[in-house]
Amino acid sequence: MSIITLASHSSLQILHGAKKEGFQTEIVVDKKRQSFYKRFPFIDKFHVYSNEDEAVSLINNIQDSIFIPHGSLIEYIGMERVSKIRIPIFGNRSLFPWESNQEKKMKLLELSKIKTPTRFSDPEEVDRTVIVKLPGAKGGKGYFVARSKGEVKDGIRRLLDKGMVNDQREIIIQEYVIGIPMYFQFFYSPIFRRVELTGIDIRYETNIDGLKRLPSWISQEPSFVVAGNIPAVARESLLPAVFDYAESFVATTREVVPPGIIGPFCLESIVTENLDVIVFEFSGRIVAGTNLYIDGSPYSWLYWDEPMSVGRRISREIKLAKENNRTSEVTT
Amino acid sequence: MSIITLASHSSLQILHGAKKEGFQTEIVVDKKRQSFYKRFPFIDKFHVYSNEDEAVSLINNIQDSIFIPHGSLIEYIGMERVSKIRIPIFGNRSLFPWESNQEKKMKLLELSKIKTPTRFSDPEEVDRTVIVKLPGAKGGKGYFVARSKGEVKDGIRRLLDKGMVNDQREIIIQEYVIGIPMYFQFFYSPIFRRVELTGIDIRYETNIDGLKRLPSWISQEPSFVVAGNIPAVARESLLPAVFDYAESFVATTREVVPPGIIGPFCLESIVTENLDVIVFEFSGRIVAGTNLYIDGSPYSWLYWDEPMSVGRRISREIKLAKENNRTSEVTT
Amino acid sequence: MSIITLASHSSLQILHGAKKEGFQTEIVVDKKRQSFYKRFPFIDKFHVYSNEDEAVSLINNIQDSIFIPHGSLIEYIGMERVSKIRIPIFGNRSLFPWESNQEKKMKLLELSKIKTPTRFSDPEEVDRTVIVKLPGAKGGKGYFVARSKGEVKDGIRRLLDKGMVNDQREIIIQEYVIGIPMYFQFFYSPIFRRVELTGIDIRYETNIDGLKRLPSWISQEPSFVVAGNIPAVARESLLPAVFDYAESFVATTREVVPPGIIGPFCLESIVTENLDVIVFEFSGRIVAGTNLYIDGSPYSWLYWDEPMSVGRRISREIKLAKENNRTSEVTT
């Protein structure tokens, strides 16, 4: 049996972990990136594509395998094509459309009684500082901060002009919560019926995280493009609350988007000075911040007495499911 | 024999490490947090309290055990109650009152010939930019920066009005040293009679560490509430000086507060552009920044050929002490 | 056979790794720092010097050993003395003069078709914001940012007055690229004929990384003195491009400075908001940022199923070379 994923994002981690769990590993890779991935001996088989349609048909021709979706899958090949993947997917494929729609996404969080930033569906309603975001996982490209409805409208107009967005309704306008970002990475295990905290990270964004190093007399428009991640831990006293969030979120998805979250997800949060955790977004698949923890995170070591990346954790879950004839509980 | 601690702060690390060293592990936990701690299989026994008095009486009823104090112990149950703990404590309990008194605290550093920021006992004397701090380990809540005696007085008045402080004399006013924060985590081993560097961290504080991401046109009062920690290493050429500090500090405490520091302590420092290390505070117990290093830190690996968190290091010290009939050297 | 290095920079890592690979370890150490290094049991032998000339003669008298140069070697004992080291050096000693000359250094990058910041050889040509740097690895001391030719000239005059630089021609003036710093640490293995990514770090610089925590009303001249390092990972989609850079750089050095790069090197980069990687400097030896990864980095675990610091990786390469009678391929 083989584990297969699309090259990029966290594919090295996913396949490295799969190999450690004893699976055959296969990668579906853009021909331009093929030579890069050939460097890594834990990748057994290469399926090279020239265009996205070919990627899907390659995936569908791999026998006896499970496909692992990651945070860039939809950005790379598009929702339409993802829906054509016919081999088993680890996780809940019904969640994909929810993840691609900011309205529905925030709805799931709100139904879980998780604190979220105030949303404004109409720029006209904006009465405080907001952050304006584009749909899809474009790594923060085009995001901007605005302090008034006028600035929001001007910014949206620029995005439409540049063709970075097609329809104003795709845009999400959120209260800009003041505090520090923390990304809480979780894993829901149907096998153990438990939520595990697999790590915490901070995104390292260009150019915003460089601007603070500039002299104040240089005025430069900030951008929020994620280029990497930095590890962190949280105060232990924050953890009970974020675990409550995580479990409540798992329960909500089980009800609203059955069979609910399976495997990795991430609650993307701001921690305020009152130590409130405000979740402004979630990911329903493995996030790139887990790449920090190939040898385990400060939290994974609390569960596992061996190095356990999220990539490996996925394959461990599949292996345990297989051994117990419960594969249907972890794939869709 | 069992290792026991109070839930929160670094209790997961402490008990995870104790289990690895073969001890029975027990936690004294607020009933609201009980369900969170039940998730972790390395905690053998739960003592659930409804109020702080009950916490102390629960602790005192545990037979054949050693209690591990951490950085939040006094904040959680108060100095008065801590002094009523009758079972053996790992470390030097005589240090607790020193740690709770900013004057005495800075005195210990100064006696150790460690460079510290200039202190002002009277707001009237302030002649430069200062940081004003509240007593106790409240995670930085209420701290503020002021550039004149007037601003200091105004700020203190606000704190008194809000009831965040009872007596102006509890407040510490320190020169605001310009440089970068670095927290040097040490461990003094009476068994090996040596100081070990167990790690370095940077605090991740809300909202100050988020403000730098805000556009300059948003004006927002900074706060300094510790919400987490980020790992770091120091230039190797800084280490001889900080080890000299650490050893000198151990020697001072041995003389002034016998038997002196035992186990973990932290020198909380600013490194200036001249690479001077200025220590503005110390912790005499395990700090939360050690939670980064559950699987060992870049420094712990220089001493130990196995994963050695500070939590585990504590239990290792106790185990070695026990095996050599030297338990009295590590407990008070 | 023994592995020897000069105390400081990454010497603990180098010797810790050498010991793990089964070598005898020896350190050449300034007598003032001797007591610090005596703390570490993995250092077998001490050669204590009082002045730099003595350091070189001590090195030259050690039989059957290989000397490991690190990023501070030339700063500590000077190029002249380094050229007098007669025992085998791991790596390519012909690269040292190239590394000490900013012109030649940038030339090597440009020949490798690596994107670099625009350089200005004459302050008179400056037409944008630039960073002005001093020669040698002085940890960023004296660096400044200037927005016009006038500011550049004023700044250089101050450096000349303070004696921080002897000749204006030693100074490098580079376009100040806006983005976030990322230091890509590589290792070229002549034995495996491959480039490995050994880690990524961010420098932690005083006082610039502290200034962002200051209230905006405090005006303070920034300095860029490296005091430590923080770990990071990059988006996986950035890696193919930086590997292309790294391989092209290895090929260029092989041609221009034979036998080319051997062992660790670092591409010191800014990642822009377009996710372009702009390399503003390189190191041809082990950098201090590798000290983060004593137990392996998120990337080293992709190659090695055991903890592999760069220090250890060096000794592993030497060991493999020795076993295959290829020592001449890794030393000069």
Q: How confident is the model at residue C2 (pLDDT cuts 50, 70, 90)?
A: very high
Binding site listing of B: 9, 72, 205, 229
C2 in contact with B, Cβ within 8 Å: no
H helix or E strand, kind and range, residue C34: helix C34-37
Looking at every residue in chain C, the average pLDDT score rounds to: 94
pLDDT digits over B28-44, tens only?
999 999 999 999 999 99
CATH topology of domain B99-114+179-329: D-amino Acid Aminotransferase; Chain A, domain 1 (3.30.470)
Range in A215-224, A286-295, B285-294, C273-282 with the lowest mean pLDDT? A215-224
Contacts A139 to C, Cβ<8 Å: 235
User: Domain spanning A119-175: which superfamily?
Assistant: ATP-grasp fold, A domain (3.30.1490.20)
pLDDT digits over A181-195, tens only?
999 999 999 999 999
**Chain B 138-177, residues with CB within 8 Å of chain C CB atoms:** 145, 147, 176
DSSP string, A71-89: TTHHHHH-HHHHTT--S-B
Looking at every residue in chain B, the average pLDDT score rounds to: 94
**Chain B 252-271, residues with CB within 8 Å of chain A CB atoms:** none
Range in A28-37, A131-140, B274-283, C153-162 with the lowest mean pLDDT? A131-140
pLDDT above 90: percentage of residues in chain C: 83
B288 in contact with A, Cβ within 8 Å: yes
Alpha-carbon span B246 to B267, nearest angstrom = 8
Size of interface B-C (CB pairs under 8 A): 113
Q: How confident is the model at residue C215 (pLDDT cuts 50, 70, 90)?
A: confident
pLDDT digits over A169-225, tens only?
888 899 999 999 999 999 999 999 999 999 999 999 999 999 877 776 777 778 889
DSSP string, B153-214: HHHHHHHHHTTS-S-GGG-EEEE---SEEEEEEEEEETTTTEEEEEEEEEEEEEEHHHHTTS
User: For residue C283, what pLDDT is reported?
Assistant: 96
Domain A2-89: give its CATH architecture.
3-Layer(aba) Sandwich (3.40)
Q: Which of A8, A32, A228 sits opposite C233 (nearest CB)?
A: A228
Alpha-carbon span B190 to B262, nearest angstrom = 7
A179 in contact with B, Cβ within 8 Å: yes
CA distances to B10, B48, B59, B96 from B311, in Å: 8, 22, 19, 19
Q: How confident is the model at residue A137 (pLDDT cuts 50, 70, 90)?
A: very low
Contacts A19 to C, Cβ<8 Å: none
Position C276 pLDDT exceeds 60: yes
pLDDT digits over B218-249, tens only?
777 788 899 999 999 999 999 999 999 999 99
User: For residue B211, what pLDDT is reported?
Assistant: 86
Contact between B202 and C206 using a beta-carbon 8 Å cutoff: no
Position C27 pLDDT exceeds 70: yes
pLDDT digits over C163-187, tens only?
888 888 878 899 999 999 999 999 9
Position B107 pLDDT exceeds 80: yes
pLDDT digits over B72-100, tens only?
999 999 999 999 999 999 999 999 999 88
Q: How confident is the model at residue B217 (pLDDT cuts 50, 70, 90)?
A: confident
Residue of C nearest to A209 (CA): C180
Position A251 pLDDT exceeds 60: yes
Contact between B271 and C216 using a beta-carbon 8 Å cutoff: no
pLDDT digits over C321-332, tens only?
999 999 999 999
Q: Domain residues of chain A, as ranges? A: 2-89, 99-114+178-329, 119-175
Position A272 pLDDT exceeds 60: yes
Residue of A nearest to B209 (CA): A180
Q: How confident is the model at residue A238 (pLDDT cuts 50, 70, 90)?
A: very high
Contact between C10 and B236 using a beta-carbon 8 Å cutoff: yes
Query: Which tokens sit at B301?
Result: 């690996």
Contact between A226 and C235 using a beta-carbon 8 Å cutoff: yes
pLDDT digits over C288-306, tens only?
999 999 999 999 999 999 9
Contact between C302 and A228 using a beta-carbon 8 Å cutoff: no
User: For residue C60, what pLDDT is reported?
Assistant: 97
CATH number of C99-114+178-329: 3.30.470.20
**Chain C 36-75, residues with CB within 8 Å of chain B CB atoms:** 36, 39-40, 42, 72
Contact between C180 and A33 using a beta-carbon 8 Å cutoff: no
CA B251 to chain centre: 19
Tokens 């109650």 correspond to: B81
User: What does the radius of gyration of chain A's CA atoms come to, in whole angstroms?
Assistant: 20
Alpha-carbon span B129 to B140, nearest angstrom = 18
pLDDT above 90: percentage of residues in chain B: 84
A52-61 mean pLDDT: 97
* Positive/negative CA dihedral, A114, A192, A11, A95: negative
Q: How confident is the model at residue B164 (pLDDT cuts 50, 70, 90)?
A: confident
Contacts C217 to B, Cβ<8 Å: 147
CA distances to A241, B22, B149, B153 from B126, in Å: 41, 53, 5, 10
A148-157 mean pLDDT: 93
Contacts C128 to A, Cβ<8 Å: none
Contacts A208 to B, Cβ<8 Å: 213
Q: Which of B200, B222, B302 sits opposite C12 (nearest CB)?
A: B302
Position B7 pLDDT exceeds 70: yes
| Ramachandran angles phi, psi of B218, nearest 5° | -90, 120
Whether the CB-CB separation of A222 and B215 falls below 8 Å is answered with yes
Q: Which chains touch B (3 or more CB pairs under 8 A)?
A: A, C
> What is the helix, strand, coil percentage profile of chain C, to 5?
35, 25, 40
Alpha-carbon span C139 to C146, nearest angstrom = 19
Give the CA diameter of chain B.
Answer: 64
Tokens 């550039």 correspond to: B147
User: For residue A164, what pLDDT is reported?
Assistant: 85
Predicted ipTM?
0.94
Contacts B233 to C, Cβ<8 Å: 228-229, 288, 291-292
Contact between A237 and B292 using a beta-carbon 8 Å cutoff: no
Q: Which of A33, A292, A307 sits opposite C233 (nearest CB)?
A: A292
Contacts A8 to C, Cβ<8 Å: 236-237
User: For residue A138, what pLDDT is reported?
Assistant: 58
CB-CB neighbours of A331 under 10 Å = 18
CA distance to partner chain A, nearest, from residue C68 (Å): 27
Contacts A218 to B, Cβ<8 Å: none
Query: Which tokens sit at C253?
Result: 């050095």
- Determine the residue among C143, C183, C225 to mutate to test chain B binding: the one whose Cβ has the most chain B Cβ atoms within 10 Å: C225
Whether the CB-CB separation of C64 and C1 falls below 8 Å is answered with yes
Size of interface A-B (CB pairs under 8 A): 112
A298 in contact with B, Cβ within 8 Å: yes
pLDDT above 90: percentage of residues in chain A: 84
